[in-house]
Structure 1
Amino acid sequence: MKYSIAPLALAAISMASPVPDAVASPPSVKISNVVSGGSGCPQGSIDVSYTDNAILPIRFSKDFTASVGPNVSPDNSRKNCQLNIALQFSPGFSYSIYSADYSGYGDLDSGVKGVVKSNYYFSGEQAQSSTSLGLQGPFSGRYTKHDDLDIAVWSPCGSSANLNVNTEVALTPLGSSACGTLAATKENVRFTQQLYIKWRQC
């Protein structure tokens, strides 16, 4: 299928906590481990490399591809990949996801709608932040998705935290004669830090 690129719609919905004061010289945060899992990145299917403060671009396998069309199982219409990122930092500080970048490709017939959605939250915390990128068929080409989350989601106060980044690609409608393919091929994540000094004591 060869079509012109349709407009991309990027929507961000954040549930933000009160804004804490910035820190002049915050300590460094360290990523100590990253575990992946999900229908789009089964355990052991990808190699996650990281530095102290960034996850290097992850190259996903063909598993992270959603498809719809005649004779395509409904299970293939949505694929997800969850990263569980273990962070270590000095006691008395709390950390936030800063930004994330995604890229991939889509090939959608007219009438097929695709969405690339990411959800960010810390284990044990209620606050979450979600972003989504919509693609409307006819569409054929590459897409990019950039998330700037600022201070929407913060780690619990302490010296360690597990951040969950759950990303999915999904297509609708199901069971029609129209075909579509939507894949995520690359992802990376970076961090920043702030100190809760007014409204949260460690």
Structure 2
Amino acid sequence: MKSFVALSLPLLALAAPHALDASSAPPSFKINKVISGGSGCPQGSIDVNWTNNGILPIYFSKDFTASVGPSVTADQSRKNCQINLDISYSPGYSYSVYSADYTGYANIDSGVKGTVAAHYYFSGEQDTGSTSLTLQGPYNGKYVKQDDVVTSVWSPCGQQSLLNVNAEVSLTPLGSYASGQLAVNKETGRFTNQLYIRWKQC
């Protein structure tokens, strides 16, 4: 039921009053609600969990699959999902998405290009973390995406803010005889975006 694309970023020293600790979460925190929308995540099709070691798995359904081919309509070539996570936690903390894991499968003909991309940001903030993986056909099998997040995106210090995750899978070109499918979990038909969260005290 799990599949991932990975982003790992070495912990960086930040100019903050307290030292950064990737494993030290606030005394209390919870996910209040999850709002999602997009062609890759119909309402009610995602699950979000939390682990004590700072991992936030988001499970997508098999709807998150892009397709191209002679008999495939153009709107199937790109699937996206915009997720808003409302997380509350103890005052005096801030958190960051510093990495993410994805894996999946692709079956694409020669001449077809597949892209898996994700963007992370907090509502009202300008900083954005983005990653992408390109697969060039012919390709048939499992892929693993392991990328560093170039920008460390932090929630406003001492304030609650929505974490936004905008993920997508896409295939090009359209209107050719070449075919392809790009998904995120061949074994289970589930797409997991596993975010890694770190905390700091303000």
- With normalisation by structure 2, the TM-score equals 0.78
State the AA in 1 paired with 2:193.
Answer: E
- Runs of 5+ in structure 2 lacking a partner? 8-12, 185-190
Task: Identify the residue that residue 56 of structure 1 maps to in structure 2.
Answer: 57
Between the aligned partners of 1:88 and 1:20, the Cα distance in structure 2 is 24
1:30 aligns with 2:12: no
Where do residues 35-184 of structure 1 align in structure 2 (5 Å cutoff)? 35-51=35-51, 53-56=54-57, 58=59, 60-149=60-149, 152-184=152-184
Distance 1:166 1:47, change over 3 A: same
Tell me, yes or no, if the aligned pair for 2:20 and 2:200 is still in contact at 8 Å.
Answer: no
Task: Identify the residue that residue 191 of structure 1 maps to in structure 2.
Answer: 197
Between the aligned partners of 1:44 and 1:96, the Cα distance in structure 2 is 26
Task: Identify the residue that residue 10 of structure 2 maps to in structure 1.
Answer: none
- With normalisation by structure 1, the TM-score equals 0.78
Tell me, yes or no, if the aligned pair for 2:98 and 2:152 is still in contact at 8 Å.
Answer: no
Between the aligned partners of 1:148 and 1:115, the Cα distance in structure 2 is 17
Identity among equivalent pairs (%): 54
Between the aligned partners of 1:72 and 1:145, the Cα distance in structure 2 is 26
State the AA in 1 paired with 2:44.
Answer: G
Between the aligned partners of 2:64 and 2:109, the Cα distance in structure 1 is 19
Distance 1:173 1:27, change over 3 A: closer
SS of structure 2 residue aligned to 1:160: coil
1:78-106 deviation line (CA, Å, top 9, x unaligned): 00122222222333332211221111110
Task: Identify the residue that residue 20 of structure 1 maps to in structure 2.
Answer: 15
State the AA in 2 paired with 1:55.
Answer: L
Report the alpha carbon displacement of residue 47 of structure 1 after superposing the two structures with TM: 2.7
Report the alpha carbon displacement of residue 117 of structure 1 after superposing the two structures with TM: 0.3
Q: Please say which of residues 146-155 and 66-75 is displaced more in the overlay.
A: 146-155
How many residues were matched structurally?
Answer: 181
Tell me, yes or no, if the aligned pair for 2:114 and 2:170 is still in contact at 8 Å.
Answer: yes
Between the aligned partners of 1:126 and 1:144, the Cα distance in structure 2 is 29
Q: Please say which of residues 42-51 and 75-84 is displaced more in the overlay.
A: 42-51
SS of structure 1 residue aligned to 2:153: coil
Between the aligned partners of 1:146 and 1:104, the Cα distance in structure 2 is 12
Between the aligned partners of 1:181 and 1:131, the Cα distance in structure 2 is 20
Tell me, yes or no, if the aligned pair for 2:29 and 2:87 is still in contact at 8 Å.
Answer: yes
1:137-178 deviation line (CA, Å, top 9, x unaligned): 000001122344376211112231211111100000011111
Tell me, yes or no, if the aligned pair for 1:45 and 1:61 is still in contact at 8 Å.
Answer: yes
State the AA in 1 paired with 2:111.
Answer: G
Which protein has the bigger strand share? 1
RMSD: 2.6
